[in-house]
Structure 1
Amino acid sequence: MSKIAIDLQYLPNLEFFCAIWEAEELWLCAGDTYQRKSWFNRTQIRLSNKVEMLSVPIVGRRPRVSLGSIKVDYQQKWQKNHLRGIQSGYGKAPFFEYFFPEIEGVFQKQTSHLWELNLEFLTICLKLLQRPVKLRVVENSEIEGVDTDLRGLLKPGEPFLERSIYQAVPYQQLFGLDFEPNLSVLDLLFCEGPSAGSIIRKSIKKE
């Protein structure tokens, strides 16, 4: 059984799914330390005139805090902004009406901790991609039992071209003439629907 450890992301990008696509079990460690400027609380979507970074505000900025302890700051109206951005960017996409209700439902729950929010989004995205991967939350001490440890590898500040995980395979996006790679999986799901899984398979960089 293929077991891959990886950092949990907020509405993960395509490189994340290429990295875990062949896994039978995905190991996620809530005890890992939160890193600023990571994908844990941010993702990217495409709007009509730009790529937009969506960030989830968190409570406090203390160093050396575990991922599982990070709380979402609901004093800021970020859910409305994220939903407005997603609707603006993808409201006219071919498969928006099929997938959006499940995504919207998670935003409306006001989940207290970012870990649980990300885990629910990942579960839904895997279901929509029809990819039956078992999610397992583990302690740091258990990681030695994993087959591949990708934690700390996928970072916003380091281009995906420098890694041997994801290669851009263009699909039909809504805006612009140039293809924008490695956006949130929402971009692919809303634009391609049932074809999303096959596009991810083709996007896995071959050694």
Structure 2
Amino acid sequence: MKRVAIDLHYLPSLEFFAALADAEEILIFPKDLYQRQSYLNRTRIRLANKVETLSIPIQGRRPKIPMDQVRIDYNQKWQSVHLRGIKSAYGKAPFFEYYFPYFEEIFESGEENLWNLNRKFLTICLKLLRRTARLTAVDSSLLSEDVFDIRGQIEPGRPFSERNYYLPSPYTQLFGLDFEPNLSILDLLFCTGPEADKILGESTKKQ
């Protein structure tokens, strides 16, 4: 059984899901420390004229605390900004009306904890991709040697081409003539619907 250890990103990128292509169990770590300037609280979507980064504000400054203790800052109206951005980016996409309610429900749940929010989003993404991998929260100290550990590898500061997980397989996007690779999984789901996991399979580098 292939078991993959990975950071719990916010509405993860296509590279994230390509790296999990044949995983039967996905291990996530509530006690790993929150990292600034990471994908733990940010994702990328494509608007009409640019690629936009959506970031979830968190409480406190530079908190070196476990992920499951990171609190979301609701003094900033981030949900409205994110929902408006997603609707603007994908409202006319072929599968938007079918998939969007799943995500809207999570946005509107008022989840106070970043870890729980990301876990809810990942769970629904795996369901919509029709993947059967088990999602398991574990402690780093209990990690066995048979686990494929890619934590800390997928990060904004390094292009995906430096890693060995994702090789873009272009699909029809809503805006622009040039294909923009490695956006949030939202882009692929809203634009391709049931074909999303097949395209991810074609985008997975053969190890």
1:27 counterpart = 2:27? yes
Give 2:131's aligned residue. Answer: 131
Q: Percent identity?
A: 57
| Corresponding letter in the other structure for 2:36 | R
Separation in structure 1 between the aligned mates of residue 146 and residue 112 of structure 2, nearest angstrom:
29
Separation in structure 2 between the aligned mates of residue 62 and residue 186 of structure 1, nearest angstrom:
28
User: How far off is 1:145 after superposition?
Assistant: 4.9
Give 1:106's aligned residue. Answer: 106
SS in 1 for 2:171: coil
Q: TM-score, normalised by structure 1?
A: 0.98
Q: Return 5+ residue gaps in structure 1 as ranges.
A: none
Q: Return 5+ residue gaps in structure 2 as ranges.
A: none
Task: Answer yes or no: is the 8 Å Cα contact 1:31–1:139 preserved in 2.
Answer: yes
Task: Answer yes or no: is the 8 Å Cα contact 2:26–2:134 preserved in 1.
Answer: yes
Give 1:120's aligned residue. Answer: 120
Separation in structure 1 between the aligned mates of residue 175 and residue 64 of structure 2, nearest angstrom:
40
Task: Answer yes or no: is the 8 Å Cα contact 1:45–1:183 preserved in 2.
Answer: yes
Give 1:195's aligned residue. Answer: 195
| Corresponding letter in the other structure for 1:102 | Y
Coordinate RMSD, CA, aligned: 0.9
Aligned counterparts, 1:153-164, within 5 A:
153-164=153-164
Aligned counterparts, 1:175-186, within 5 A:
175-186=175-186
Deviations 1:11-53, CA, capped at 9 Å, x for gaps = 0000000001110000001111111010000000000000000
User: How far off is 1:63 after superposition?
Assistant: 4.0
Give 2:87's aligned residue. Answer: 87
| Corresponding letter in the other structure for 1:115 | W
| Corresponding letter in the other structure for 2:151 | R
| Corresponding letter in the other structure for 2:157 | G
Separation in structure 2 between the aligned mates of residue 27 and residue 120 of structure 1, nearest angstrom:
15
Task: Answer yes or no: is the 8 Å Cα contact 2:43–2:183 preserved in 1.
Answer: yes
Deviations 1:137-187, CA, capped at 9 Å, x for gaps = 001211235520001110111000011110111000000000000000000
Q: TM-score, normalised by structure 2?
A: 0.98
**Pair 79,63 (structure 1): closer, same or farther in 2 beyond 3 Å:** closer
| Corresponding letter in the other structure for 1:25 | E
Structure 1 runs (4+) deviating above 4 angstroms are: none
State how many pairs are aligned. 207
Task: Answer yes or no: is the 8 Å Cα contact 2:36–2:62 preserved in 1.
Answer: no
User: How far off is 1:64 after superposition?
Assistant: 2.2
User: How far off is 1:54 after superposition?
Assistant: 0.2
SS in 1 for 2:102: helix
1:74 counterpart = 2:59? no
